[in-house]
DNA sequence: ACATAAAAATGAACAACGTTCACATATTTC
DNA sequence: GAAATATGTGAACGTTGTTCATTTTTATGT
């Protein structure tokens, strides 16, 4: 049976992913070392390259799990609100909450860069796209005249705007707002933007 | 005279900064090597550490110059528009234009991270803060009831939102919009937000 | 069941990086 | 001009990610 080989390989992969996830959570993406991860996973240094092409691919899998958790958090929060404005605000709040509660993992999601010339694989791009889909539905209610392509563009823009507000506020580069101010500032932003959409169409 | 010593030191510093700037422009921050920079600057590898504490400090000085150029570009563009809505849209357009025309240098501005535990020096934080000041004045016209602290918070939020839209659109992680779509999408965003501010106060 | 082939795990070795340091050179001071 | 001080040099160091000959494990054929 070749199943045993498959099981062992899969076991090694998941041990490496878990070890990497843990290291990222505690030390950040920049603190991730191949030697630490393999030691934590209980395998040799070279074993990484039997399970993954390189460290980047391993990181991609950690990010994949983080995206799934983020997606679940958004889904869970959005379920409570039916009206588009309330739903968009709930999504923004959930996004901020996830970023706060999973700082390092969330940062790794956007900090990570592939080697020059190597594109992000399609399966991972697709996982990012799912996030934006959460915004399409409420936006469609606010902008019933728009087609699917335009709606998608607006959803990506709104996502990027919220993402930017959360990102810069959580960075050291700018003097950050107090945590409570950040949340009210973010919610005020979404509220104002929705008001603008309603007033202009 | 101790002036000759000072002049030599300053000459080395500026040669290193220029070499680093050039390397970042062509290869990005991740492609910056101490050996390349010193070779370009015509000095020994170790000379970096007589002029700067480490590579991070050198990068900070490159970013400082980039920030000055970005500030000048914003100033220049904003001068044309008097009305707050038009000025905010001009600023957003100028920001996008600068990011496009100086891709690598602009990316380095936000990609760079200090070593763990080392804070970004105050003089560099102040340079970032200047960018946000450009937004305070037009926002004050739209929101005359707000105090200085609240106004600053709104300015930072708006800056972050615009920054996020530009950043994510220029990244490989998400399927990017066509360049022309990005600009119209960004301008529509600012327009809508201003409409929201005007409608809600 | 055993021998043989194929695959995977190992960890020492490699190359590339930022940084340091004993030494050489240049500059200032007396 | 000589002693003292500061600055520039590049070989060497420690730490990376990655590779590769070797060993160990797993699968296959009779």
Residue B16 has pLDDT above 90, yes or no: yes
Binned at pLDDT 50, 70 and 90, residue B187 comes out as very high
How many whole angstroms separate alpha carbon B122 and alpha carbon B126?
A: 6
Residue B113 above 90 pLDDT?
yes
- Cβ of A177: how many Cβ atoms within 10 Å? 20
Q: What pLDDT was estimated at residue A176?
A: 63
Chain B residues closer than 8 Å to A119 by CB: 172
- Dump pLDDT digits (tens) for A140-163: 999 999 999 999 999 999 999 999
- From the CA of A3, how many Å to the C1' of D24? 19
Show which positions of strand C are touched by protein (CB under 7 A).
7-13, 16-22, 27-29
Tell me the C-alpha to C-alpha distance, in Å, between residue A71 and each of A82, A138, A140, B124: 18, 16, 20, 36
Q: What is the mean pLDDT of chain A?
A: 93
Contact assignment for B191 to A169 by CB distance below 8 Å: no
Backbone angle region of B28, left / alpha / beta, with phi > 0 → left and psi within -120 to 50 → alpha? left
Task: Compute the average pLDDT of residues B43-68.
Answer: 97
Section B81-98 average pLDDT: 96
Find out whether A86 and A181 touch, Cβ atoms under 8 Å: no
Q: Model confidence over A83-97: pLDDT tens digits?
A: 999 999 999 999 999
Q: Quick one: average pLDDT of A119-131?
A: 94
Report the residue of B30, B157, B162 to disrupt the A interface, i.e. the one with the largest count of A CBs within 10 Å: B157
Average pLDDT over residues B174-195: 89
| For residue A1, pLDDT beyond 60 | no
């Amino acid at each position: 049976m070749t199943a045993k080989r498959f099981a062992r390989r899969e076991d090694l992969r998941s041990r490496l992913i878990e070890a990497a996830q843990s290291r990222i959570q505690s030390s950040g993406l920049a603190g991730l070392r191949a030697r630490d991860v393999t030691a934590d996973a209980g395998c040799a240094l070279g074993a990484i390259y039997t399970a993954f092409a390189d460290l980047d691919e391993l990181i991609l899998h950690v990010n994949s799990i983080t995206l799934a958790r983020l997606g679940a958090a958004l889904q869970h929060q959005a379920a409570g609100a039916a009206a588009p404005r309330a739903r968009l605000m709930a999504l923004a709040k959930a996004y901020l909450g996830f970023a706060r509660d999973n700082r390092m993992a969330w940062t790794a999601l956007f900090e990570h860069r592939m080697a020059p010339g190597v594109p992000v694989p399609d399966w991972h791009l697709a996982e990012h796209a799912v996030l934006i889909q959460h915004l399409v539905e409420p936006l469609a209610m606010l902008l019933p005249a728009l087609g699917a392509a335009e709606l998608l563009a607006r959803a990506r823009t709104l996502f990027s705007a919220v993402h930017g507000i959360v990102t810069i506020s959580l960075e050291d580069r700018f003097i950050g707002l107090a945590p409570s101010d950040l949340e009210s500032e973010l919610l005020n932003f979404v509220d104002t933007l929705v008001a603008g959409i309603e007033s202009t169409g």
